[in-house]
Amino acid sequence: MTEEAARTALLQFVNSKCCYGNRAAGELVIQELRQLAIYRYRLETFRESRLSEWAFEPLPKPGAAGRPRGASAPPAMFREGTRRVRVPHSCRVKDCHRCHGHGRSKCSVCHGAGRTRCVTCKGSRRRLKQQKRCQLCSGTGRKRCSTCSGQGSKTCTMCQGEKKLQHFKQLVITWKNNVFEFVSEHQLDFPGELLSKVNGETVFRDENVQVYPITDFPEPAISLASQRAIAEHNATSAASSRILQQRQTVELIPITEVRYEHAGQPRLYYVYGLENEVYARDYPQRCCCRCSIA
């Protein structure tokens, strides 16, 4: 990281903030660039779980195509998803439980009467101010229900008027990617959660149906994190799912601590990640103290 690159990164950061001024970024005097690096360990466990449940749908009309059966093949590795597959030969036909096999259900607006109170005269049969017979309802105080067209009932939304439902058993397959992340210790005035949003240089990668803990890594904390992560993921998956694939990586995230002086005051900011993101908590030219700094 050079002084020019550090200043460019700060200018890009400042220009992305509505409450930051870029004059200070051009005037500051960089005094020291301290190059640092932090290891980030990540374990991903892609697992599959299955359960069965009863479902129903309107009885297909004669000649209509049946519901397609889904495939149970998993999506791309480490991508989450859910798929429902109908179990063959599990179909049962029953009367619709909402309309009790009638194909129609009582209108919820007129409650089966087919007529509702006139909204113009509010059921008084006369216009309140003019004391004349209401023309909208012809002086009856009620008008035909627009929801059910005066029939008092509507086509059942559950069975779509077919009177019966087709019940079947379906298999619910869920693919989930569990992620364990660990960042090595550092003595920086820097929020650790920001490091999960940037990329680093991959120095170790292992992918298999089941990976084994890392041993003898130069940073002992990474080896311990690998052992703990694999033990936790394997124990969690054993109870209710099966592991399809595991992947563990170690990335080296570059961090540059930039010490500078502005208006006689010593300050600092950080440039981190391969994207050269910036964290500047005490940037001197801000017009709003609540403006985001990350």
Work out the average pLDDT over 261-289.
Answer: 86
Residue with tokens 């950061």: 13
Work out the average pLDDT over 2-7.
Answer: 92
Is 184 within 8 Å of 99 (Cβ atoms)? no
Q: Give the separation between CA 225 and CA 253, rounded to whole angstroms.
A: 17
Question: Of the given ranges (218-227, 229-238, 271-280), which has the lowest mean pLDDT?
Answer: 229-238
Q: Give the separation between CA 163 and CA 278, rounded to whole angstroms.
A: 64
288, pLDDT greater than 60: no
Highest mean pLDDT among 6-20, 104-118, 216-230, 233-247: 216-230
Confidence of residue 72 (pLDDT cuts 50, 70, 90): low
pLDDT at 149: 85
Work out the average pLDDT over 100-116.
Answer: 87
List b or e across 73-98, with b for residues whose CB sees 16 or more CB atoms inside 10 angstroms: eeeeebeeeebeebeeeeeeeeebee
Confidence of residue 294 (pLDDT cuts 50, 70, 90): very low
Confidence of residue 20 (pLDDT cuts 50, 70, 90): confident
Per DSSP, the residues of 122-190 read: TTSSB-TTT--B-TTTTTSSEEE-TTTTTSSEEE-TTTTTSSEEEEEEEEEEEEEEEEEEEE----SSS
Is 73 within 8 Å of 83 (Cβ atoms)? no
291, pLDDT greater than 60: no
189, pLDDT greater than 70: yes
